Amino acid sequence: MTTMNGVPFRQMMVSTSKRSIKCPNPMVPKKITVHETDNMTTAENEVKYMIGNDSSTSYHTAIDETEVIQALPYNRNGWHSGDGKNGYGNRNTIGVEICRNYDRNRQTRNLIEPLKSQYNKAKENAVKVIAQLCVDHNIVANSSNIKRHYDWNRKNCPSKMIADKLWNAFLNDIIAEYNRLVGKKATSSSKPANNTSKDNSSSSNSSTKSKWTKIEGKWTGQSLFEGQYGPPVEDMQTMLANNTPPFYPEKGAKNNGVDNYFGGQTKDAVIRFQTYYGLKVDGIPGKEVYGKLKENKSDSSSESGSSSKSSSPSFKVNSKVTLSKSAKKYATGQTIPSSVKGKSYTIQQIKTDRVLLKEIVSWVYKKDVVGTSSSSSKSKTSTSNSSSNSSESGKHGKLKIVNVNSAAIVMDKPDRNNAKSIGTIKKGATLPLNGSVRGKNSDNGYWEVEYKGGLGYITGNFGQKS
């Protein structure tokens, strides 16, 4: 059973023929709007009625004591806030209907059993669902982002919460649950489990192997497809993994997922690569992908060519180095001001081709720094001079934060249901970009960024390469 933060979840989506009436406009959700149905029926009956009629009135999700049902795509608007065709509530918020809140038989909101317990449970489920929606759509749960229908057009809705003065406690419960999900662990996700076969399927498993098509030879740009395995697939996976930035099939797995099987994770890595470089996005690596990978490898080789002829200097964390006066750009692409050149700094972190300087919290290329106690500083400075004309303009690039209301959450690992928040970055701001990884619990993957001297991860649809 698919669940949404522990609440049974299913979809009863409005037909595509009615989307022009019910949800005509694309939307990036920025807030949540809470409603109550003012009747005693179930979520299923509410949704059936809404998607079955020809009225424009619509909402995204209905919740009762047993389940949550999605009726509209979350990336399209609904007409539920009563603030007009271009109203903020209608055009930017997810509409959530809570059921079981009015006793039609007795014409009262003063509920008795079993309706009373049904409403209380529906409200508890709504807390979990709304908190998960906030996490899924990068909406910070607070009083500014979780609104009542009343806040948009002064309609008495959610009427029972308003009448019984339950709203503040309900809102605080959502915020507490959201903080639990962000800071600790989400119990589940609204997205169904990924049933795509893993790339590192064991070749000794005959029942698994029988589903794959073996190919031979080398990869020279011919189109490869999901379901194939053999040397050409491994060639392609290796080139993706060795790209700068890397596009691993499964970062952290054995060989980072390079296993010669073209499964769902390898296809995802190809799609991320194609998206990153503005290529045709179809998940099929062919001549265009091969050509770009070869081009990137050539650029990388030429950049390091002059310095590779001399012995590479040895760097250690906490050792002192001097930033060369001939250095042009930080490893993240920005121009290095003259005021910081020629000075001594402490190495805080080390990567393959760069070091993080503690005092200025900046990544610089190894070729642009000289060990203060090194006897070969003159030759190293010469190496920096000879290669200063090579392309250094952010080979990892920068990530710009987009599609959020105010800020994106930076996580400690690429798994939004199990990661901890290590901070936020404002909309429109940029971060040094390391690459793209598949991670877990996100259809859009994750961006790997440099954040506060270490690595952080941002959900794929909230970043854009700049």
User: Using one digit for the tens of pLDDT, what is the confidence trace for 172-216?
Assistant: 999 999 988 887 533 333 333 333 334 443 333 333 444 688 999
Q: Whole-number mean pLDDT of the chain?
A: 80
Which CA distances in Å does 329 have to 121, 246, 411? Answer: 58, 21, 28
Question: What residues are paired with 69 via a beta bridge?
Answer: 10, 62
Round to whole Å and give the CA distance between 350 and 363. 9
Task: Give 170's pLDDT tier (boundaries 50, 70, 90).
Answer: very high
Here the tokens at position 51 are: 């998607």
Burial 349-378 (b: 16+ CB within 10 A, else e): eeeebbbbbeebebbbbbbbbbbeeeeebe
| CATH class of the domain whose range is 310-386 | mainly beta
pLDDT in tens, 312-331: 456 788 888 888 888 888 77
pLDDT at 91 over 90: yes
Task: Give 223's pLDDT tier (boundaries 50, 70, 90).
Answer: very high
Q: Could you tell me which of 234, 236, 226, 219 has the C-alpha nearest to residue 263?
A: 226
Here the tokens at position 78 are: 């609904």
Q: What is the pLDDT of residue 298?
A: 60
Q: What is the DSSP letter of 340?
A: G
Q: Report how far Cα 89 is from the mean position of its chain's Cα atoms.
A: 24
**Model's pTM, two decimal places?**
0.43
Integer Rg of the chain from CA: 27
Burial of 204 (0-12, 13-18, 19+ CB in 10 A): exposed
| Residue 362 near residue 330 (C-beta atoms within 8 A) | yes
Q: What is the pLDDT of residue 372?
A: 53
**Which range has the worst mean pLDDT, 28-42, 360-374, 410-424?**
360-374
Q: Report how far Cα 170 is from the mean position of its chain's Cα atoms.
A: 28
The ranges of the chain annotated as CATH 3.40.80.10 are 3-183
pLDDT at 222 over 90: yes
Task: Give 452's pLDDT tier (boundaries 50, 70, 90).
Answer: confident
pLDDT at 450 over 80: yes
Architecture of domain 3-183: 3-Layer(aba) Sandwich (3.40)
pLDDT at 46 over 80: yes
Q: What is the DSSP string of 409-461?
A: EEESSSBTTTPPEEEEEETT-EEEEEEEE--BS-TT-EEEEEETTEEEEEEGG
pLDDT at 377 over 70: no
The ranges of the chain annotated as CATH 1.10.101.10 are 206-306
Element (H, E) at 46: helix 43-52
Q: What is the DSSP letter of 39?
A: S
Round to whole Å and give the CA distance between 118 and 42. 10
pLDDT at 63 over 90: yes
C-beta atoms surrounding 267 within 10 Å: 22
Question: What residues are paired with 369 via a beta bridge?
Answer: 323
| Residue 236 near residue 246 (C-beta atoms within 8 A) | no
In the chain, the amino acid numbered 190 is S
CATH number of 398-465: 2.30.30.40
Which CA distances in Å does 306 have to 265, 300, 309, 331? Answer: 36, 12, 6, 17
In the chain, the amino acid numbered 288 is E
Range picked from 7-16, 373-382, 457-466 for highest mean pLDDT: 7-16
Burial 391-430 (b: 16+ CB within 10 A, else e): ebebbbbbbbbebbbebbbbbbbbbbbebebbebbebeeb
| Cα–Cα–Cα angle for 186, 189, 195, rounded to 5 degrees | 130
The ranges of the chain annotated as CATH 2.30.30.40 are 398-465
Task: Give 1's pLDDT tier (boundaries 50, 70, 90).
Answer: low
Residue entry with tokens 């003259």: 338
For residues 233, 238, 243, 248, the Cα torsion angle rounded to the nearest 10 degrees is 80
Q: What is the pLDDT of residue 101?
A: 93
CATH among 1.10.8.80, 1.10.101.10, 3.40.50.10140, 3.40.720.10 for 206-306: 1.10.101.10
Task: Return the higher-pLDDT residue of 317 and 68.
Answer: 68
Task: Give 274's pLDDT tier (boundaries 50, 70, 90).
Answer: confident
Q: What is the pLDDT of residue 362?
A: 77
Return all residues near 165 (Cβ < 8 A) that are at least 6 apart: none
pLDDT in tens, 15-26: 989 999 999 999
Return all residues near 295 (Cβ < 8 A) that are at least 6 apart: none
